[in-house]
Amino acid sequence: MRTITFSIMTLIIGFTLASCNTESSKSENLLLSDFNTRYNAPPFDKIKVDDYEPAIDSAMIEAKAEVDAIIANTEEPTFENTIEALTFSGMRLGNISSIVFNLNHAETDTSLQKVIRQIAPKLTDFGNDINLNADLFEKVKKVHATANRENLSLEQLTLLDKTYKGFVRNGANLSENDKQAYREITRELSDLSLQFDENILAETNAFTLHITDSKELAGLPKSLQDAAAQEAKERELEGWVFTLHMPMYAPFMKYAESRELREKMYKAYTTRAFKDNDRNNTELIKRIVNLRLKQANLLGYSSYADFILEERMAQSSDKVMTFLDELLDASLDAANQELKDVEELAKSLGANHGLEKWDWSFYTEKLKVKLFNFNEEELKPYFQLEKVKEGIFYLANRLYGLTFKQVTNIPVYHSDVFVYEVYDKDGSFLSLLYLDFFPRSGKSGGAWMTSYRSQYIHNGQNVRPLVSVVTNFTKPTNDAPSLLTFDEFTTFLHEFGHALHGMLANTTYPNLSGTSVYRDFVELPSQILENWAVEKEFLDKFAIHYKTGESLPQSMVQSIIDSRNFLAGNLSIRQLSFGLVDMAWHSIQKPFIGEVLPFELKYMSKADLLPTVKGTAFSPIFSHVFAGGYAAGYYSYKWAEVLDADAFSVFQEKGIFNAEVAQSFRDNVLSKGGSEHPMTLYKRFRGQEPTIEALLVRSGLKK
């Protein structure tokens, strides 16, 4: 999930992206006026790359004037003339910034990346100018100390406390010398995170496996061969071309009988940004973690993790490490037994070698077929993307009464993007939804939800959000539509859960709206939706064979259910290893002077049962924490699994489409955003705090 939308208040409350003297007339730059589009959606078809920087420069001048007016106001500082005024300042700047930064993930090129490099430090400087302004902070501090809290709503109280903490956590109490150091740190961190992501994208695009001998395709399903043939044709090559984008990489590793080619693909994937070239991310990692430590120390914290976790449900490094260690202990026995089972299967199939990491997907897939008669390729014809989309829309309708209407009069940034108007159960307009499904060279890997505009209420108007879901699903071929793997189907559910969090938002303030919540709470709305992936009553509505029209047979559904805890131990320790290395990088209390790989292995190895592959590394492609906002927060995926397992148990008890339960989840979680503490919201829905038991039982790690 990536959320880029922000106002001045998001800069204060902790979103550091990122003045300049170039002025631009509003009449000359489309970005500096109302867009004159339906719902004031971004006019992607008319914006030019050269528009962004002058528009940002001009919008910063406008935003600065709004902040200066707050500072110059001679009236006694109040919640309305200070906190609320800040919240709704800089809205144009936020709108423009959300467009350019979102496009840098979804449809970038070297010209846009160059612009981003120019504007990111300006935005960082601008945010610091606000956060470190002593006169402004004095007003905020006075309101925080003297406001009549009994007259403020719960949301206003949250905003007041969050605003004050945001200033403090962004350096407002520092000395002048330390403020200057803080400025330099945040500016460099902004640049380094951009460079980190650019390097991964460039490395991913730089590799292809070109096959001209059909014998080397042995084991690969026809759908993957067709996709590779189409990729080769687009590149004007003979034969088949495989890339490192996940829709090709994952099935190649799962089905290719050529061990040599699996090894080649694996090493290409796991050496990205770790080779001896100018795209190596190891020095960036060292610089990033040391700058984050320095930033935390300036603010009075012994580590960056301590700084981050102060504003999380987990609250402390000790609590996170206890949580991760408990799950690791609960997972290791199962993981070791699973490894033995896979090794025995490999030997029975004639493998006269020890298992290496490029063997794992290949043999685990064969074991899954043997144990459960579960073959993902046989499932794919039942998960045609168009039908899956209709099924997910149906789920949103059954749970929340939403309806979706595809429209063609909303501009898009690429021909692959589809737009939907989303309506609430009473017929009122709720949101725009952009769907962007397929990989391309200008798109980052993975899947995410983001917003071009958050929901908020201002001047009596409930401004509805512009929400986007971006994925990298299997593309259609000349012979078949886009057919999703079961993992891709659950990914769609996951990101759509984030989208519901954004679309169903109903708060007053944009920086408390939708997904603007604690990082270890934000995955609850996404992960709970994944639970419907194995519910027959739901699957029957859309899982239809694209050729025969046959519904997904009960036997296949049962195979999915029977196999969903297959390799639960190994899947658990894999996620935990990511959380452990993230916490290790951000728990350092002295500047890091070692090498990246040994440090990484020290913390990941206890959750890694296969031999280390020389020359490969994970941290250089760990964009979640070094470029994506999850620093000291990757544990949140497992944390949210505890929440979603516990929360879904209510639906299991009362019915997976139970309107009363769904309405409670909407009212107490989805619509509330960050307007109250997440545990308060969760307990209001669930009636109690969550426990780890539901997750262990669901995962098969505890009977």
Looking at the chain, the whole-number percentage of residues with pLDDT higher than 90 is 88
**What does the pLDDT read at residue 702?**
72
Structure tokens at 218: 């042995």
Structure tokens at 355: 């298992």
Q: Which residue's entry shows tokens 């995962």?
A: 699
What are the φ/ψ torsions at residue 396 (nearest 5 degrees)? -65, -35
Q: Can you tell me the mean pLDDT for 501-514?
A: 97
10 pLDDT band (50/70/90 cuts)? low
**What does the pLDDT read at residue 9?**
55
Distance CA 397, CA 384 (A): 20
Map residue 127 onto helix, strand or coil. Answer: helix
Domains of the chain: 8-170 (1.10.1370.40), 186-195+282-357+565-703 (1.10.1370.10), 207-270 (no CATH), 381-529 (1.10.1370.40)
Question: Which candidate, 114, 120, 297, places its Cα nearest to that of 192?
Answer: 120
pLDDT in tens, 400-452: 999 999 999 999 999 999 999 999 999 999 999 999 999 999 999 999 999 99
Residue 420, beta-bridge partner list: 406, 433
Q: Reply yes or no on whether the pLDDT at 122 is more than 50.
A: yes
Distance CA 489, CA 512 (A): 30
Q: Reply yes or no on whether the pLDDT at 512 is more than 90.
A: yes
* Most confident of the ranges 21-35, 205-219, 688-702: 205-219
The C-alpha angle with vertex 1 and arms to 198 and 565, in degrees rounded to 5, equals: 115
Mean pLDDT of the chain: 93
Map residue 236 onto helix, strand or coil. Answer: coil
- Quickly list DSSP for 654-672: H-TT-HHHHHHHIIIIITT
Tally of CB atoms within 10 A around 568: 18
What are the φ/ψ torsions at residue 219 (nearest 5 degrees)? 90, -25
Judge contact between 413 and 449, C-beta under 8 A.
no
pLDDT in tens, 543-569: 999 999 999 999 999 888 888 889 999
* Catalytic (active-site) positions: 495
